[in-house]
Structures are given as C-alpha cells and as structure tokens.
Structure 1
Amino acid sequence: MFIKPKTKTIFLSSFLISSTFFSQAHNVSEGYQKPTDPLVIQNLENWQDLKFGLFMHWGTYSQWGIVESWSLCPEDESWTQRKSEHGKSYNKYVENYENLQTTFNPTQFNPQKWADAAKKAGMKYVVFTTKHHDGFVMFDTQQSDYKITSSKTPFSKNPKSDVTKEIFNTFRKEGFKIGAYFSKPDWHSDDYWWSYFPPKDRNVNYDPKKYPERWNNFKKFTFNQLNEITSNYGKIDILWLDGGWVRPFNTIDPKVEWQRTIKVEQDIDMDKIGIMARKNQPGIIVVDRTVPGKWENYVTPEQAVPEHALSIPWESCITMGDSFSYVPNDNYKSSQKIIETLVKIISRGGNYLMNIAPGPNGDYDAIVYQRLNEISTWMDHNQSAVFETRAVAPYHDGSFYYTQSKDGKTLNIFHIEEKTNYQAPSTLNFIIPETFKPKSLIVLGLKNRIKWKKSGDLIEIQLPEDRKKLKYTTVIQISE
C-alpha cells in the first residue's frame, strides 16, 4: 500500500473525485475513463454485485511483525521507521530483512480454512499480494530467486509452497472472484534500485532516460512476472497494481503531495502490460492505482470512505486491524464497526475490501475467526440487502443508509447508531424516495408482522419486542 496512517477509518467530506484532499487520502484519480471492452464492462458490473472482499498482505516481513516493505524505503515517515534490533545501519538492516527469506516457514498455511471463514462471512472475492514493494515473490516466478519457492526459503519444501497457486485455486473452488495484487516498483531488483547508487526514496534511484537499457530490463522483468501470473494461475478476474509512482511523468498530479516527489520518467508501458493481461485473461479488470486512464478500471481509496456516493466504480481497502501486515496484538475492529463500515460503503455505491494479515505461522489470529463468525451471523439475515444492490438517493440521511435492488423494485434501509452495542428502538421514522410506492415492508431477521404507515415521503414503523435480538443494525426491506 502507499501510506500507513495510524488513524482509524477516515470519513471524507469530498464528493467530487477531483478533490485534492480525496486524492491525497488515497487513490481517487482525476479523469476516470470508462472501459470500452464489453467483457470488461460486464466483469465490472458483476464485481459491483459482490460488495465484500478479502485483501491479504503477507510476506517474510510478518516474521518481524512490521509494516510491509516500507522500512526498506529511505524516507523519514512514521510507516518507514526501522527498529535498531534488526540492524543499526541502513545497509545492515536491508541485509537482515532480505535474510528473512531463509527463515520463512509458515507451516500452518491452510487456505481452505481462510476460504471457509471468509465465505461464511459473505466475502465474495479475494485480492492477494503476489509481490509487494520489497520484491519478495509469493509465487513460483522464473524471473527471480527472491521467492517463496526458492531453495533458500524453508517453506519451499512444503507441497503448498506456491501459496499464490494454493490460495487462488482454493478460493476459486469456493466461488470467489480472484484478484492478484502486484507491486510495480521492486526494491529488490537491481534494475529498479540499482546498487551503483544508494536509494533516495521510494522511486527508481537512477534516471531511466539516462540509463534506458537498465530501465528496459526492468520493464521486461515486470512484464514477464505479470505474464506468469496471468498465464499460469488459472482464471484471474482482477489485476490490482500498486505503487502508483511508477507511472508516465505526464500523469503526475501536482496537487497530490506524494506525486510531487516523482522526479523522473517511470513509464512501465501499461499498454503492453494491459494488452497482454487481456489476451491471457479476456475481460480482466485492471486497476493501475492512482494513474488515470484506461487501465484504472476502478478507483481505490485506502483506509477511507467517501462521504457521498461516487458515480464511478470504486472500492475502499480498509484493514480489519490497524495494519495491512501482521502485527502482534493488533487492534482489530469490532464486528459492529466492520458492518457499519460495510453499510456506509455500499450505500455510496462502493465495495469493501477488508484486509486480514496472516502471521508468520501461516494463519490468522484467533480473534479474526471470531469476527468473521460474528459477521456471518449478521449476513445470514441481511445479505439480500447487501449483495447485487446499487446506491439510491437519498443514500444517507441521519442514522439511515439506503441501497436498492438492481431492478429498483426493492428498497433497503439500514439503521445504525455507532454506539458500543446497537439497540433497535421501538419506533423508527425515515424518508423514502418520492417516486417509490411501497406495498410491503419487513424487517430482516424478525418474523413478526411490522406495523407501519406512510405520510408523504416519510415512513414510521413500530418494532415488536423481539427487536432486541437484532445486532449491529436494523435492516428494513420495502417492496413495490
């Protein structure tokens, strides 16, 4: 990911996707271009039905319980800090970090356990980090020996050592759409951070125009790895490309602070990559994050939720804990907070990609399974108001959030209170669109008949005594 804010989910006050604040708070580019390929358009439509996905950041860094990759970056930011116990000098730290390959042995890796828990919780797609910025490859690449399947890595002796293959095959078998996260920058590659020069920041440490042969080698290396992913790992639905500083220089937005740090041309030839990916995987969604144009098929605010509906496909990637990577004793969000966030996102037309980080042993923390199980109980009753829905005005009014079925004949109203423990009140009053003509009304999860009356565009409902069993939200479903 780009930046690791220490704050909780940020709710932004911007509506327009050209907002500088929204762009800086991550990853909504100006100038969205709607795809023209009919297969991509259909895939995007199907993806927007899914609403809830699983993100996983996992690599050798989990052994130290640190922010993924970023401590290698010589920038003085809160998320790039290094612990002296891992190396007092920068060079020694890098050496010790890269030696984590020789001890990485996640013997409890069991993707079926993850898929079962995620599926039960209502997640319908997965995006896995095949390679992060540090360059350690979590699949069986032929372009580098800095990989999980290398003989240098103890886990390579395990029959499930190609974890990307195991994860994709397992989740695909369970009906998930498959997304491959891939970092365009590679801080291990001598063709990106050339050892002749010290790295200066997150960017390439030489001028590609001055050393075109070296940059062309890096472009070939990147192309070849992405060709491997899209050729050798079954059906891939999403190619999720991170590291937006690797981009054509003319696409830099000077209003965005981190983009102003890009000083040289870093054109990776996305046309060549995208055409290859679509040849290997017809209809694949390509997400070249923060780089506006035909290869950013949806936008990806990070640790943030827009306050209003957006008119383009979008997804918020938000951590279940505080960190994208595994950190011991992480502060995991409550199930109520997760569900409230999901409600806000889908009411504004987006998808919620929730990150869960496996630990060095190859499994999630026990509390993660507890959270997923609690979410599954809520989903059992309320999934019809979540999946295959779209945003509808008024989107959000006070404590009420709205979605509608794609045919427009069913209106879903979520009531949340954002208190420690949700308690459904005896009476609820909320507005509905003036053009909607309600004929029937139910509260999901309750069997008793609901008393309700309509006055203009206002509806009042009386909730029965068994409302006390409702957890996290009250979900009202009205049909025409």
Structure 2
Amino acid sequence: MKKVTLALALLAAASALPARAQQQGIHQQSTQYEAPTDPLVVQKLDKWRDQKFGLILHWGIYAIPGIIESWTICSEDWIERDSTVAYEDYKKHYWDYSKQFNPTKFNPEQWASVAKKAGMRYLVFTTKHHDGFNMFDTKESDFKISSGPFKDNPRADVAKYVFDAFRKEGFMIGAYFSKPDWHSQDFWWSKYATPNRNVNYDIKKYPWRWKKYQDFTYNQIGELMHNYGSMDILWLDGGWVRPKETVNDEVRSWGAPIPEFSQDVNMPRIAAMARQAQPGLLMVDRTVHGPYENYQTPEQKVPDRPLANPWESCLTLANNWGFVPNDVYKSPTKIVHTLVEVVAKGGSLLLGVGPKPDGTLDQEAVTRLAAIGKWLDVNGAAIYGTRATARFQDGTTYFTQGKTGTRYAIACLPESQPAPATVAWTGNVPKKGSAVKLLQTGKTVKWTSDGDKVTVMLPAALSKTAGAYPALAFAFAAR
C-alpha cells in the first residue's frame, strides 16, 4: 500500500508542478554578455547561429512515472507533494526508479531521423539532470542507466548512441550536463537535511568535501569530452551553482534561495580541459555571466525585442520537458510561428521533446514534428543561415536577411484558416521592378507598393485548403 501511495503522490505531483515550474524552476534570460575571443569558438558560434532550429531531449528516470524532471525531490515551498508521505521516503522511491528503467525499444536512429525530417539541425541531450541519474557510462557513479536493468543491452551507454545517431545525420552535437547533482553525497550530504536546491552543507566549513565535488564534476565532464566523439556544445544547467561574486540582483530576482558561500565548480579549469579535448567548443554556462556563457538561453519565453547577442529560446513542444502521459502539445502552426519570431529577432529555437520510458518517441510528437518539417522543407531559405534586419516585424509579418543580402518577409497566417488573397506589410520594400518569389510555390508573385506599404497577390490555389500553410515566405531584393 505504501508503494501505491507513493506512486500516486508522484503522479499527482506531475499534474501540480509543471505550471509552477515554468515560473520557479526555469532559467531567466541573462542581461549581461561577454563575447568569446577564441577564434575557433567565434567560428563555431557563427556556424551554430546558422542552424536556427535544435532539439533538446530530456530523458531520465522521471520518464517512468511521467512527471516533471527531477524537481519533485527538491524541498522548496513551490513544489507540491502528498503531505502524508515522508520526504525522505519520497526521495528514495523516486531514486529507486533507476531499478526499473529498462528502455528496450531504445532507437536513437529513429529519433535522429524524426528530428532531421522536422528540419532540426542541432541536438542537446541530457547526459545528467539535477537528480544525478547519468545517461552515460560514467565511471564516477553507479547511479546510471548502464548499471540498472538496461546494463546488459549492447546500447547501455545511451549517450554514445544518441550522439552517434545524430552526428551521422549531420547535426551539431550538444551535451546537457547539470552542475548540481542531488544524488551525490558531496552535494546533498546525508548528514544534513536537503532544504532546497543548493549544497546542503557549509562549503566554508567542509572545503574538502566541496573539492571532492569539484573533482567529480570535472571528471564527469572530462569523460563526456574525451569518450563520446566530436562535441560542439557543452550546455550546463543549474545556474544557481555559481561563484558567489556572480550573484547579482538579476539572480536574486529568481526567488531561489541563495547561500552565503560560493558554489564554484571551477569553470576555468573545466573549460581549459574541455576545449583542449574539443577545440572551439561552445560553452553555455546558463545565466552565469562571463566567458563561459557563449550564448544566452531564455527559457519558456521569446524575448520581446531582438537581442544583440547570440541566443536561443528553449521551449517545449508540449507542456513539459520530459515525457508526461496525456500532455498537451502545441500545434505545428504555433511552433512555426514561434520559430519565425525567434529567428526574426536574431535567435535560435531549441525545442524540447521527452522520449517515453521504453525508449520511443510519442507518436503525437512525431506527427507534429513532421508537420513542422514539411513547412521548413519549402521555406527553410528564410530561416537557416539568416540574420535579423533593422526592421524585424510588422504585425504578424517578420523579416530576415540571408548572408548574400536576400531579404525575406514571412507572413504568419491564422491557424486553420485559408490563405488570404493578398498579404501586406509595411517596411522592407522590394527594389522597384524586382521580382518577389513565393517560396511555397517557387514562383514569382505580383506585388505593388504605396510608399512603405507592400501588397502581394497570392495564387488562388493557396486558399483551397484551410490551415495548410502556417506561414508564407517571400524572397526579394530590398531597396
């Protein structure tokens, strides 16, 4: 009966947490930026900015009960749990999911194929989330996929096969890694209670224990950098684990508890090692301003205005990062509109999908990703390799510019409605007498201008199927 109660409590947490987690557990957008100076990093950053659309896969033991990733074991007042279940019992039950995690249908080639057909071009895979469960064959911990029921599977070193599959499809490869590790005795020491997301002992009082944690983190990242092939991105989560001197009013505004000691994992040491193994590696130490946040990562939001610095919006395809049964998915049209807005503002979109506990992708996610890819197959020229323009938006029409100077206008259409007879926008006027090409058909369309207002006439055939076109993109030479 106790196990049943605990399982129900975890499932109840799944329905209670996500909306709050969007506010309390997310990483806010950085407001400071320090551009990299290493020529190889600068070169790779420019390549990354060309990709525009990426996939982040959250997969771990939280997929088994189908709940929000990691956060249910964190003891903070915004997290809901069954009040009849003791906290320590809850944590033990959660961690014991490692004894059940046996994804016998694991097929990373299928994941990579789905992502490629969706038009995605870079990957970020969760090698370890805050709960400390490792999705790679680390030698630093036995709390890993390759020590449980899946250990005898020839693909037990899950991360290796995920990275290989996506690499073969031409993706840039990123490793997500959580700086906090709530399963480690050198982060959450069982000598003390675990009152919140931070280290639960005084680092000033026990510096030797924190040094062990620094070495543990360094060694694990070293394994990822040396044993898993070519890496493009090291994507570090858990921005509250940071040097004390980097805590400013922006960090305090998150509402998360801030300890009196520094939770410094020694990023200079980690970066030197990582870039020696992976020259030009992009480092994304999220929200920790300085040389190791090569691009910014606003989460579950799109900035109101273009950002001058490299950035990506991290958004979910459904409501949650990981797999949650009966989750509510965003429509392909909504994702296309978001991608268009993000790119027009100079950013990239990192879209989150959570594989199921058996190792497959939810069919609803596959279907929606395919629809997004269908649009990008035809309209990708207006997205990939583009940069923001001075005038990036006019109502629901957004503008981008290719590296050779071609201007694009992307008109976002209302969902489930036929295409209109005309599309109009103000600004970004084509050169007099030049052609305007509709990417959807590959043919030129008639257009007129009246001052700064441009009107293009659409083929009548476009209006026959309601909702067939999330957006229409036009290519032209701007005056």
TM-score where L is the length of structure 2: 0.92
Aligned match of 2:81: 82
| Offset, 1:362 | 0.8
Equivalences for 1:52-451 in 2 at 5 Å? Answer: 52-77=53-78, 80-83=79-82, 88-150=85-147, 153-255=148-250, 256-258=252-254, 261-263=257-259, 264-408=261-405, 410-417=406-413, 419-433=414-428, 439-446=434-441, 449-451=444-446
1:207–1:265: 8 Å Cα contact kept in structure 2?
Answer: no
Q: Which moved more, 1:205-214 or 1:218-227?
A: 205-214
Q: Is the 8 A contact 1:27 1:299 kept in 2?
A: no
1:400-438 alpha-carbon deviations (Å, 9 max, x no partner): 101110132x11111114x33143211222123369667
- One-letter amino acid of the counterpart of residue 70, structure 1: W
* Structure 1 residues 350 and 24: CA distance shift in structure 2, 3 A: farther
Q: 1:311 to 1:478 in 2, by over 3 A?
A: same
Specify whether residues 447 and 181 from structure 1 end up closer, same or farther in structure 2 by C-alpha distance, changes over 3 A only.
closer
Please tell me the root mean square deviation across aligned C-alpha atoms, in Å: 2.1
Post-superposition offset of 1:95? 1.1
Q: Deviations over 1:85-124 (max 9, x none)?
A: xx81111111111111111001111011111111011100
Pairing 1:6–2:48 present: no
Q: CA deviation at 1:446?
A: 2.1
Higher mean displacement: 93-102 or 423-432: 423-432
Secondary structure class of the residue paired with 2:150: helix
What SS is found at the alignment partner of 1:341?
Answer: helix
SS class of match (1:241)? strand
Identity among equivalent pairs (%): 47
Which of 471, 476, 479 is equivalent to 1:478? 476
Q: Provide the rounded CA distance (Å) in 1 between the counterparts of 2:345 and 2:62.
A: 35
2:42 is matched with which residue?
A: 41
Q: Aligned AA for 1:81?
A: E
8 Å contact kept, 1:422–1:472: no
The structural deviation recorded for 1:220 is 0.3
Contact 2:18-2:68 within 8 A present in 1 as well:
no
Structure 1 counterpart SS, 2:384: coil
- CA change 1:361–1:27 in 2 (3 A) is same
Counterpart in the other structure of 2:31: 30
The answer for the alignment partner of 1:50 in structure 2 is 51
CA contact (8 A) 1:393 1:402 kept: no
Paired residues in the alignment total 458
Give 3-state SS (helix, strand or coil) of 1:123's partner: coil
Look up the equivalent residue of 1:428 and give its one-letter code: V
Q: Distance in 1 between matches of 2:431 and 2:75?
A: 56
Q: Residues 358-413 of structure 1, C-alpha deviation per residue, up to 9 Å, x if partnerless?
A: 011111111111111111211121011110001112111111101110132x1111
Give the distance between the partners of 1:478 and 1:308, measured in 2 at CA: 24
The Cα shift of 1:6 comes to 1.9
For structure 1, the residue ranges without an aligned partner over 5 or more in a row are: 11-22
For residues 348 and 24 of structure 1, do their structure 2 counterparts lie closer, same or farther at Cα, with a shift above 3 Å needed? farther
Query: Aligned partners of 1:101 and 1:7: how far apart in 2?
Result: 26
CA distance in 1, matches of 2:25, 2:177: 21
Measured in 2, the distance between the counterparts of 1:259 and 1:7 equals: 13
Unaligned runs of 5+ in 2: 1-15
Q: In 2, distance between residues paired with 1:4 and 1:283?
A: 38
TM-score norm. by structure 1 comes to: 0.91
